[in-house]
């Protein structure tokens, strides 16, 4: 007798079944902010457009604006029109817009939270949202505690019966280890750990998830993924933009806290971790935590860290102003807009392989990549002149843009001349060429995961703490060093960053 074939409509493992969120609603605090308009609202629409939200899905905005629901709907409309990834579909919009509500109020206004409570009850009634609410804190960190406290006070954090309440916390999770712990204490007093979703949007990027697929779905890379073959790893997140309208946030934070503490250390963890026993949240976090626990800072931070601040320069053919001339930035600011750091992962696999991290605003171009540089062949049976222009083999995972993977290796230059000449060539995989599907935005994936209660892509508190433990001494060191070096906008950062690598006999890649 043959086995009955599973009914694809009933088999929850069937890959063809889209992951559709159940009855639910998203409440965004800080709905007037940049993130909300550029990323969250468009992501909600794109999810709805892809059929991944339930018909009664509702979006509630909470902010200090004297808006009616219609004003809020107009703001969402404009944000979606400008930033959504998928095409405009009137019927999708109309259905979604029926679930828009706006609650005006301050974060310390008890009446506003009572209004929020009433709004939620009304949505459960008319939209069938089932008491399931995710509260998204897209607000400055100083408001995290008061808002979480209000949710508790007004009975919004506790779910009744089988329904759920979740809280989504945008970075930065604190500004150092102490404040991260304080924040965690506040949040965990109100929400159990499985209901807390910390956003690191890099983990929502397809190409970042591909790091694990690349490493663990293939047999040919893992054998060389260690100190026997790898010389060093460079992780770059370069941006061509300045700080835009975020002076208030950025000047308090700087490049290291903004990007290294979260995105870049998460990339280090994914590149360096051992194979997890399963691809579930627990197993992944265990392996990432091991890497972060094994990270050691260099003994001489003055030699192996670097920071800078962009000066005026040119970008894309237009003159741009320096950081200190940006609106609302004090002329005496010592906040870094560029940060670079050497780290070592003290494990058997990685002993002696430096990881170099760098990030900066107003650099030559926007690019995020992980470049694994391999050791040179121990012997080259060619004449010296043949190998003059031969570099190190490298595997570059291009996170963005031009998402893909490049393998660089030496090849013989064609020709019949007397001598052999070798030169580096690239072998390229580009997402755009290999797949017809376009990648969803990171926030689409993450918002959907929150609504589904799916935690693998959200860092746990322990990872956040470990990351601050790594970074705190670096920031404390810089605080004793006076002003950061200025670098020209449109260039590749301060000379001290080049010197940092030169001390190790290496150079930064020019992506
Ligand atoms: C954010 C930082 O986390 O990432 C910003 O706060 C930065 O300063 C942004 O511009 C970059 O994100 P992406 O996805 O464009 O690389």
Whether 438 is in a domain gets the answer no
Residues 362 and 490 occupy one common structural domain: yes
**How far apart, in whole angstroms, are the C-alpha atoms of residue 243 and residue 252?**
12
**Does any ligand 1 atom lie closer than 6 A to the CB of residue 239?**
yes
Residues 234 and 153 occupy one common structural domain: no
| Distance from Cα 202 to the centre of ligand 1, integer Å | 9
Per-residue pLDDT tens for 343-361?
A: 999 999 999 999 999 999 9
| Distance from Cα 9 to the centre of ligand 1, integer Å | 39
- Measure CA of the first residue to CA of the last residue in the chain; give whole Å: 59
Residues 165 and 243 occupy one common structural domain: no
Do β-strands 133-137 and 25-29 pair in parallel, antiparallel, or remain unpaired?
parallel
Backbone angles phi, psi at 409, to 5 degrees: -150, 170
| pLDDT for 260 beyond 80 | yes
User: Does the pTM of the predicted model rise above 0.85?
Assistant: yes
* Mutate-to-test residue for ligand 1 from 239, 242, 260, highest number of ligand atoms within 8 A of CB: 239
**Does any ligand 1 atom lie closer than 6 A to the CB of residue 258?**
yes
| Distance from Cα 422 to the centre of ligand 1, integer Å | 39
Whether 443 is in a domain gets the answer no
Q: Burial code of 432-445, b = ≥16 C-beta within 10 A, e = fewer?
A: eeeeeeebbbbbbb
* Mutate-to-test residue for ligand 1 from 207, 254, 263, highest number of ligand atoms within 8 A of CB: 263
Mean model confidence pLDDT for the chain? 93
Q: Percentage of the chain with pLDDT > 70?
A: 96
Residues 119 and 242 occupy one common structural domain: no
Residues 228 and 163 occupy one common structural domain: no
- The pLDDT value recorded for residue 176 is 95
Three-state SS at 268: helix
Residues 163 and 273 occupy one common structural domain: no
**How far apart, in whole angstroms, are the C-alpha atoms of residue 365 and residue 318?**
14
Whether 498 is in a domain gets the answer yes
| pLDDT for 418 beyond 80 | no
Q: Which two tokens stand for residue 407?
A: 């393998």
Per-residue pLDDT tens for 206-225?
A: 999 999 999 999 999 999 99
Domain count, the chain: 2
Per-residue pLDDT tens for 139-160?
A: 988 899 999 999 999 999 998 8
Q: Do the beta carbons of residue 99 and residue 143 sit within 8 Å?
A: no
Q: Do the beta carbons of residue 60 and residue 26 sit within 8 Å?
A: yes
Per-residue pLDDT tens for 19-35?
A: 899 999 999 999 998 89
Q: Do the beta carbons of residue 448 and residue 21 sit within 8 Å?
A: yes
Interacting residues of 316 by C-beta distance below 8 A, sequence separation 6+: 240
Residues 102 and 164 occupy one common structural domain: yes
| pLDDT for 1 beyond 50 | no
**Does any ligand 1 atom lie closer than 6 A to the CB of residue 206?**
no
| Distance from Cα 410 to the centre of ligand 1, integer Å | 35
Nearest to 271 by CA among 217, 340, 216, 339: 216
Q: Do the beta carbons of residue 424 and residue 391 sit within 8 Å?
A: yes
Whether 383 is in a domain gets the answer no
Backbone angles phi, psi at 199, to 5 degrees: -90, 125
Alpha-carbon dihedral sign for residues 491, 494, 497, 502: positive
| Distance from Cα 230 to the centre of ligand 1, integer Å | 29
Q: Which two tokens stand for residue 168?
A: 């989504």
Whether 420 is in a domain gets the answer no
Three-state SS at 314: strand
Backbone angles phi, psi at 99, to 5 degrees: -100, 15
For residue 399, the ligand 1 atom closest to its alpha carbon is 16
User: What range does the domain containing 106 cover?
Assistant: 25-170
**Does any ligand 1 atom lie closer than 6 A to the CB of residue 465?**
no
Residues 339 and 472 occupy one common structural domain: yes
Please give the distance of CA 351 from its chain centroid, rounded to a whole number: 27
CATH number of the domain at 343, please: 3.30.360.10
For residue 171, the ligand 1 atom closest to its alpha carbon is 3
Task: Give the closest residue (by CA) to ligand 1 atom 5.
Answer: 258
Q: Which residues are catalytic?
A: 263
| Distance from Cα 374 to the centre of ligand 1, integer Å | 29
Task: Give the closest residue (by CA) to ligand 1 atom 15.
Answer: 239
Whether 494 is in a domain gets the answer yes
Q: Which two tokens stand for residue 450?
A: 């929150």
**Does any ligand 1 atom lie closer than 6 A to the CB of residue 170?**
no
Whether 510 is in a domain gets the answer no
**How far apart, in whole angstroms, are the C-alpha atoms of residue 454 and residue 288?**
18
Residue with tokens 């979604």: 96
CATH number of the domain at 97, please: 3.40.50.720
Three-state SS at 356: strand
Q: Burial code of 260-278, b = ≥16 C-beta within 10 A, e = fewer?
A: bbbbbbbbbbbbbbeebee
Whether 408 is in a domain gets the answer no
Residues 151 and 291 occupy one common structural domain: no
Helices (H), 339-424: none
For residue 241, the ligand 1 atom closest to its alpha carbon is 10
Q: Which two tokens stand for residue 362?
A: 């107003």
Domain boundary residue, one of 170, 192, 219: 170
Number of Cα atoms under 13 Å in the Cβ half of residue 103: 25
Count of Cβ atoms closer than 10 Å to residue 337 Cβ: 33
For residue 246, the ligand 1 atom closest to its alpha carbon is 8
- The pLDDT value recorded for residue 6 is 41
Residues 111 and 249 occupy one common structural domain: no
For residue 368, the ligand 1 atom closest to its alpha carbon is 16
β-bridge partners, 233 = 355, 372
Domain boundary residue, one of 147, 170, 193: 170
Q: Do the beta carbons of residue 337 and residue 310 sit within 8 Å?
A: yes
Domain boundary residue, one of 170, 190, 219: 170
The mean pLDDT of 367-394, rounded to a whole number, is: 91
Residue 325: DSSP 8-state? G
Residues 239 and 153 occupy one common structural domain: no
Residues 219 and 72 occupy one common structural domain: no
Per-residue pLDDT tens for 62-119?
A: 999 999 999 999 999 999 999 999 999 999 999 999 999 999 999 999 999 999 999 9
């Amino acid at each position: 007798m043959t086995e009955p074939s599973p009914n694809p409509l009933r088999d929850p493992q069937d890959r063809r079944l889209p992951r559709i969120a159940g009855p639910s609603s998203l409440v965004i605090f800080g709905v007037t902010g940049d993130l909300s308009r550029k990323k969250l609202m468009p992501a909600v629409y794109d999810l709805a457009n892809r059929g991944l939200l339930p018909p009664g899905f509702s979006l509630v905005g909470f902010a200090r604006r004297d808006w009616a629901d219609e004003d809020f709907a107009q703001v969402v409309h404009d944000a979606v029109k400008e930033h959504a990834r998928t095409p405009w579909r009137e019927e999708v919009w109309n259905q979604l817009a029926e679930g828009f509500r706006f609650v005006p109020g301050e974060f310390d206004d008890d009446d506003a939270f009572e209004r929020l409570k009433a709004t939620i009850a009304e949505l459960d009634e008319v939209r069938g949202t089932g008491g399931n609410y995710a509260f998204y804190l897209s607000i400055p960190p100083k408001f995290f505690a008061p808002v979480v406290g209000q949710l508790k006070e007004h009975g919004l954090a506790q779910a009744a019966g089988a329904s759920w309440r979740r809280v989504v916390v945008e970075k930065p999770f604190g500004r150092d280890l102490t404040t991260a712990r304080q924040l965690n204490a506040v949040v965990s007093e109100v929400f159990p750990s499985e209901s807390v979703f910390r956003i690191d949007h890099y983990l929502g990027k397809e190409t970042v998830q591909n790091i694990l697929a690349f490493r663990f779905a293939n047999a040919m890379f893992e054998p060389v993924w260690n100190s026997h073959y790898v010389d060093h790893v460079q992780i770059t997140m370069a941006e061509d933009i300045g700080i835009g309208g975020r002076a208030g946030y950025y000047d308090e934070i700087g490049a290291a806290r903004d990007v290294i503490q979260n995105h870049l250390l998460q990339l280090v963890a994914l590149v360096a971790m051992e194979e997890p026993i399963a691809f579930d949240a627990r197993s992944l976090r265990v392996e990432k935590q091991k890497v972060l626990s094994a990270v050691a800072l260099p003994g001489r931070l003055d030699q192996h860290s670097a920071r800078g601040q962009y000066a005026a320069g040119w970008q894309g053919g237009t003159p741009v102003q320096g950081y200190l001339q940006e609106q609302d930035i004090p002329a005496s600011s010592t906040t870094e807009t560029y940060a670079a750091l050497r780290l070592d992962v003290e494990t058997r696999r990685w002993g002696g392989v430096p990881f170099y991290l760098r990030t900066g605003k107003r650099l030559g171009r926007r690019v995020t990549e992980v470049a694994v540089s391999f050791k040179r062949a121990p012997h080259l049976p060619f004449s010296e002149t043949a190998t003059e222009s031969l570099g190190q083999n490298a595997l570059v995972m291009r996170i963005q843009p031009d998402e893909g993977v490049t393998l660089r290796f030496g090849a013989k230059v064609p020709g019949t001349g007397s001598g052999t000449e070798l030169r580096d060539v690239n072998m390229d995989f580009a997402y755009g060429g290999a797949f017809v599907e376009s990648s969803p935005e990171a926030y689409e994936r993450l918002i959907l995961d929150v609504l589904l209660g799916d935690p693998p892509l959200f860092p746990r508190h322990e990872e956040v703490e470990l990351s601050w433990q790594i970074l705190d001494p670096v920031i404390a060191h810089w605080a004793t060093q006076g002003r950061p070096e200025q670098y020209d906008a449109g260039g590749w950062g301060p000379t001290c960053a080049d010197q940092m690598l030169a001390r190790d006999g290496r150079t930064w890649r020019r992506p």
